[in-house]
Amino acid sequence: MPTAVVKLGGAALRQGSFRLERWVRRGERALVVHGAGPRISTALARAGIESRFVGGRRVTTSDALPVVREAMRVENEELCHTIGSRAVPILGDELGLEAELVPELGFVGIPFPTAPPELRQLLAAGRVPVVAPLARGPLNVNADDAAAALAIGLRADRLVFVSDVDGIRVAGGTLSSFSGPDVGRYREHLDNGILPKVEAALRAAEAGIDVRIGRTRIVGRLGPDRAQQRDAHGDRRDSDDLREP
CA–CA distance from 181 to each of 98, 143, 203, 218 (Å)? 30, 24, 13, 11
Q: pLDDT tens-digit profile of 126-140?
A: 999 999 999 999 999
Look at 60-64, 190-194, 217-221, 230-234 and tell me which has the smallest mean pLDDT. Answer: 230-234
CATH top class, domain 3-229: alpha beta
Give yes or no for a contact between 157 and 237, defined as CB atoms under 8 angstroms apart. yes
Query: 245 pLDDT exceeds 60?
Result: no
Q: pLDDT tens-digit profile of 143-173?
A: 999 999 999 999 999 999 998 888 998 888 9
Residues paired with 159 in a beta bridge:
5, 211
Strand order in the sheet with 139-141: 99-101, 108-111, 139-141, 134-135
- pLDDT value for 192: 66
Domain residue limits, the chain = 3-229
Strand order in the sheet with 29-34: 87-91, 128-132, 29-34, 3-8, 158-162, 210-213, 216-219, 177-179
